Amino acid sequence: MARVIGARGTGSLSAETPGGRVRLIIIERETAMPGPRLITAEDLLRLRLVYDPQISPDGRRVVYSVKRIDAEKNRYYSELYVVEAEGGEPRAFTPGEHSDSSPRWSPDGRWIAFLSDRDERSQIWLIPTDGGEARKLTNLEEGSIRGLRWSPDGTRLAFSYRPKPAQDRKAAREERQKQHRSTPPREIRRLRYREEGVGYFGEERWHLYVVSVPDGNLVQLTDGNFDEHEPTWSPDGTQIAFLTNRQPDPDLEPNYIDLYVIPATGGTAVGLATPAGPKSNLGWSPDGQWLSYAGHDRPEERWGVSNATVWVVPAAGGEARNLTAALDRPVGDLTLSDTYSFGAGEVGPLWAGDSRTLYVLKSDRGAVHLYRVSVEDGAIVRLTEGGTHVASLSLDRAGRRAAVTLAASTDPGDVYLLDLGEESPTPRRLTHVNRELLAEVQVAVPEEFVAPGEAGPVHGWLLKPPDFDPTRRYPLILYVHGGPHCQYGHAFVHEFQLLAARGYLVLYTNPRGSKGYGYAHTAAIRGDWGNADYRDLMAAVDHAIRLPWVDADRLGVAGGSYGGYMTNWIVGHTDRFRAACTQRSVVNLHSMAGTCDFTFGDREYFDAKAWD
Residues of the chain with pLDDT > 90: what percent?
A: 78
Of 265, 243, 269, 239, which Cα lies nearest the Cα of 256? 243
Question: Do 56 and 108 meet the contact criterion of CB atoms below 8 Å apart?
Answer: no
Residue 601: the pLDDT is 66
- State pLDDT tens for residues 348-402: 999 999 999 999 999 999 999 999 999 999 999 999 998 889 999 999 999 999 9
CA distance 132 to 236: 30
Model confidence band, residue 599 (pLDDT cutoffs 50, 70, 90): low
Question: Do 312 and 300 meet the contact criterion of CB atoms below 8 Å apart?
Answer: no
- State pLDDT tens for residues 509-565: 999 999 999 999 999 999 899 999 999 999 999 999 999 999 999 999 999 999 999
* Residue that wins the pLDDT comparison between 611 and 282: 282
Residue 600: the pLDDT is 62
Residue 329: the pLDDT is 97
Residue 17: the pLDDT is 33
What letter would DSSP give residue 421? T
Residue 22: the pLDDT is 31
Of 365, 514, 524, 534, which Cα lies nearest the Cα of 450? 365
Residue 344: the pLDDT is 66
In which order are the strands placed within the sheet that holds 91-92?
49-55, 61-70, 75-84, 91-92
Whether residue 334 has pLDDT greater than 60 = yes
Q: CB-based burial of residue 50 (10 Å sphere; 0-12 exposed, 13-18 middle, 19+ buried)?
A: buried
CA distance 79 to 95: 6
What letter would DSSP give residue 32? P
Question: Which three-class secondary structure state does DSSP give residue 66?
Answer: strand
Whether residue 10 has pLDDT greater than 70 = no
Model confidence band, residue 35 (pLDDT cutoffs 50, 70, 90): very low
Residue 190: the pLDDT is 85
Number of H helices, E strands in the chain: 8, 38
Residue 20: the pLDDT is 37
Question: Which three-class secondary structure state does DSSP give residue 175?
Answer: helix
Which residues are CB-neighbours of 67 under 8 A, at least 6 positions away?
Answer: 20, 21, 48, 49, 51, 76, 77, 78, 99
DSSP strands (E only) in 213-366: 218-220, 228-233, 239-244, 258-263, 270-272, 279-284, 290-295, 309-314, 321-322, 350-351, 357-364
| CA end-to-end span of the chain | 36
Of 186, 180, 182, which Cα lies nearest the Cα of 199? 186
Which residues are CB-neighbours of 546 under 8 A, at least 6 positions away?
Answer: none
Q: Class of 445-606 per CATH?
A: alpha beta
Residues 577-587: what's their mean pLDDT? 93
Omega of the bond leading into 349 within 30 degrees of 0 (cis): yes
Residue 131: the pLDDT is 79
Whether residue 597 has pLDDT greater than 80 = no
Whether residue 9 has pLDDT greater than 50 = no
Q: What phi and psi values does residue 440 have, to the nearest 5 degrees?
A: -90, -20
Question: Which three-class secondary structure state does DSSP give residue 27?
Answer: coil
Give kind and range of the element (H or E) at residue 505.
Answer: strand 505-509
Which residues are CB-neighbours of 547 under 8 A, at least 6 positions away?
Answer: none
* Residue that wins the pLDDT comparison between 424 and 66: 66
- Kindly report the average pLDDT of the chain as a whole number: 90
What letter would DSSP give residue 569? H
Phi-psi group of 391: left, alpha or beta (phi > 0 → left; psi -120 to 50 → alpha; rest → beta): alpha
CA distance 209 to 218: 7
Q: Kindly report the pTM of this predicted structure.
A: 0.91
Whether residue 30 has pLDDT greater than 70 = no
Residue 290: the pLDDT is 98
Model confidence band, residue 32 (pLDDT cutoffs 50, 70, 90): very low
Residue 11: the pLDDT is 33
Residue 342: the pLDDT is 59
Domain ranges within the chain, ordered by starting residue: 445-606
Whether residue 29 has pLDDT greater than 60 = no
Identify the bridge partners of residue 163 per DSSP, sorted by sequence position.
143
CA distance 31 to 447: 10
563-to-69, 431, 529 alpha-carbon distances in Å: 26, 34, 11
Residues 419-440: what's their mean pLDDT? 93
Residues 570-596: what's their mean pLDDT? 89
Residue 200: the pLDDT is 82
- State pLDDT tens for residues 280-321: 999 999 999 999 999 999 998 888 999 999 999 999 999 999
CA torsion 94-96-98-99 (nearest 10°) is 40
Question: Do 301 and 315 meet the contact criterion of CB atoms below 8 Å apart?
Answer: no
Residues of the chain with pLDDT > 70: what percent?
A: 93
CA distance 98 to 345: 20
What letter would DSSP give residue 44? G
Residue 56: the pLDDT is 98
Of 324, 323, 350, 331, which Cα lies nearest the Cα of 515? 331
* Residue that wins the pLDDT comparison between 341 and 538: 538
Lowest mean pLDDT segment, chosen from 17-21, 114-118, 209-213, 269-273? 17-21
Single-letter amino acid, residue 15 = A
Residue 445: the pLDDT is 95
Alpha carbon 252 to its chain's center: 24
Q: CB-based burial of residue 600 (10 Å sphere; 0-12 exposed, 13-18 middle, 19+ buried)?
A: middle
- State pLDDT tens for residues 71-110: 999 999 999 999 999 999 999 999 889 999 999 999 999 9
